[in-house]
Structures are given as structure tokens and as C-alpha cells.
Amino acid sequence: MKENLVDPRDTRGKKHDLEFVLVGITLSIITGNTLLSEISRFLENYHSILRKIVGLPKCKPISYSQLRRIISFLASTNYQEVQSSYFGWQNTKDDDDWISLDGKELRGTIAKSLGQKRGLNIVYGISQKDKISTAATFYEGAKESEITTVRELLNDLSLASSNLTFDALHTQFETLEKCESAKGIYIAQVKNNQKNLNVELRNHEQSSVEFMSLSIDNKGHGRKETRTYSFYDIRKVTLDEKWVHCGIKSLIKVDRDRLIVNSNKRSIETSYYISNRDCNEIHPHKYAKAIRGHWTIEMSNYIRDVLFSEDNIRCSNRNQAKGMAILITTVVNLIQRNKPKNIKAQREKFLSDIRKMASLFVI
């Protein structure tokens, strides 16, 4: 990792190896220190131990100003590229692995005292199979859009040619065209934000026979649920011209029949999805798993907020906010790579032993 990471600092007066600083910051975040003042104290308190772990000669702890500078320039270096390589993310056509894409607002960047209602947003993808996050990009919620930001991410052909799941916000013909042209496979939810498409698909579903179906029963948390997945061949359905180059071939209808045991309250919900894979090529169990697995990215957002308090990081400096978000991604990836049954419990095991935490960096 060290050999490939670009250090943009001037070599004159540089006292600290970049890898040493990043390892220290990462370990600090694992312990729950996400404020700059907390990270600075951690690096000072554990300086001698960190030196021994990394194998550096005697030197002074990094200054607060230098710490801020290093975190700020992470987003403008090749750090994310090195991070993706380090965690071994790669394109896959395996139906067992799908990349879910979504965005998350960094609420600590909203200056409410100035009347701001939107802040900086991070957009990234996450593997449903191993929970590892791909490289991220950012946009300003007040003047930019998550839709166009996701399209920017899809300019990376290694991502666009993967298996991808989208929520309804990203069921846009410009987005799906990128996947189709890159020979990627997508599953995208359809809601009323694409009203005409939604109506056309519903009409077809009501007037045709399903190609195949699958029902899955789930029990737990005081409820019983049956999910029925119905697959329809829509290659011959005439859709609006703008969807022609998206390669839409199949419609998936999902009916969720849920019963709350204690109250005996029942609810039925129906949702629709489209894919550019032919029904003959679809493995129903794997597609059902991919559709339900889209929540993986919401769980990732939850982990970032609850375990690492990302929304509580108050920061007006955009580059610094981006750097912290990227570092939190690194930390979550490090923990997820160990495939813990309980992330909170796994993290607690490391809190009392910094050397054990450092073992996370060993591939």
C-alpha cells in the first residue's frame, strides 16, 4: 500500500511517514475517536506504540495542524484507488455478488446557523457479498444531484460492467444505458418517479402470464412474512423510446405479505423491478437475494452513523469532511473483511489492545 500511495507534501521539513500517520488515524477511528481533537490526542498518547508497530525511528508526535492537512488532501490523492486495490475489490459476473449504489448526507457539514438545509453527500457502492465498499465520490446537496453523481461513478467501466442494484431514484434511462453499454447487469426499482414506465409495466403484469415465480417465507422479530417474486418476460413490450438503449428484458414483481404476530395486523406491499437480463438467464433465488440485499448499503450507512458517529462530525472544511468520510470507509472495510458476526462486539474486542487492532492491516 505504501509504495502506491502518492504523498503530495513537500519533502522539506516532512517529519512523519504518510503511512504511519494514516495507520494511526485509522486505529483512532476504530476506537471511536472521530473528532480531530480526539484523533490528535490518540496519536500523541499512543505515539511510541505506533512507532514500534510500524517500525519507525524516534520522532515527535504529529502536530494538530499537520493532522488536519493530511486528512484534507486524502480526497484529492490516489488514496481511494489504493484502498480499493488493498481490499481486493474487483468486477464480478457472479450472481452471488451484487454492488448496491446509494448516497448518504454528512449532516455535520450542514451549517444550520447560516440557514443551510443540505450539506455534503457521499455516494458509494457496497458489495452485498463481502460488505466491502468501493471508491466514493461527493456532491453538494444544495446545488448538485445524487443522480448525476452516480453516473459519474459509472464512468468507471469496472463498476459499470458489474452486477448492480439501484433504488427508484436511479431508474433513469441515462444511468441504465451506462450499465447496458458496459455490458453490466442491473436490477432497478420502478416507482412513480417514472410514472409512464410504471404504468406500462403494471399493465403488462396484469394482462400477461408470469414466466416463473418463487415464494420465500421468513420468521423473526415477532412477525411472519412471505415474499413472492414473479418474473415476466417484457422483451416484446413497447416502452417509451428513451428506454430503448437500456436493454430492459425482464420485470420482477415482489409481493410482501407481512403478519405482526402479537397484534395480528397484516399488510401487503407490492414493488416492481426491471433488469436487462433475459428471464431464461435469471436464477430466481439469486435475484430474490439481490433485491432484498440492496438494504446492505442502508446497513452500512447505519454502521457509519451509530458506531462511528459520522453525522456528529462537525466540519465546515469540505476537503477535511471528505477525508474523514473516506477514512471511515477504510475502517468499516477493515472490520468487515474479518466477516464479524457482530460488528459492535468485534470493535469492542480491539479497544483494549492497540496491537490487536493493528492486526487488521495484515492481509
Residue-level pLDDT at 362: 60
**pLDDT 10s digits, 234-265:** 999 999 999 999 999 999 999 999 998 888 89
- In angstroms, the CA 165 to CA 254 distance is 15
Determine the pLDDT at residue 263: 86
CATH number of 99-301: 3.90.350.10
Map out the domains of the chain as residue ranges.
Answer: 2-86+337-361, 99-301
Residue 341 has what pLDDT?
A: 80
Neighbours of 188 (CB within 10 A): 24
Calculate the average pLDDT of the chain.
89
pLDDT, tens only, 53-95: 777 778 888 899 889 989 998 888 888 888 888 887 666 666 7
Task: Give the whole-number percent of the chain exceeding pLDDT 70.
Answer: 95
The whole-angstrom separation of Cα 323 and Cα 150 is: 19
pLDDT tens-place string over residues 178-227: 999 999 999 999 999 999 999 999 999 999 999 999 999 988 878 899 99
Q: pTM of this prediction?
A: 0.89
Neighbours of 303 (CB within 10 A): 20
Looking at residue 113, its pLDDT comes to 84
pLDDT at 160: 94
Query: Which whole number is the average pLDDT over 153-158?
Result: 91
| pLDDT score of 286 more than 90 | yes
pLDDT in tens, 97-149: 899 999 999 999 998 888 889 999 999 999 999 899 988 899 999 889 999 99
User: What strands, in cross-sheet order, belong to the sheet with 212-220?
Assistant: 137-140, 120-127, 99-105, 163-166, 185-190, 265-275, 250-260, 223-233, 212-220
With CA atoms as reference, report the closest residue to 178 among 197, 194, 154, 198: 154
Q: Mean pLDDT across the stretch 21-50?
A: 90
Separation of alpha carbons 106 and 138, rounded Å: 10
Q: Most confidently modeled of 15-24, 86-95, 273-282?
A: 273-282
Alpha helices, DSSP H, located in the chain? 18-30, 36-45, 47-54, 64-73, 79-86, 146-153, 157-160, 173-181, 195-207, 284-292, 296-306, 318-336, 343-350, 354-358
**pLDDT in the model for residue 180:** 97
- Residue 32, classified by CB atoms within 10 Å of its CB into exposed (0-12), middle (13-18) or buried (19+), is middle
pLDDT of residue 108: 92
Among 107-116, 270-279, 325-334, the range of highest mean pLDDT: 270-279
Of all residues in the chain, what percent are helix, strand and coil, respectively (each to 5)? 45, 20, 35
The whole-number average pLDDT for the span 336-358 is: 77
At 3, is the pLDDT very low, low, confident or very high (cuts 50, 70, 90)?
Answer: low
Q: What is the pLDDT of residue 199?
A: 94
Q: Which residue has the higher pLDDT, 60 or 160?
A: 160
pLDDT of residue 182: 96
Give the model's pLDDT for residue 261: 85
Residue with cell 513537500: 10
Mean pLDDT for 159-168 is 95
Query: Could you tell me what percent of the chain has a pLDDT over 90?
Result: 58
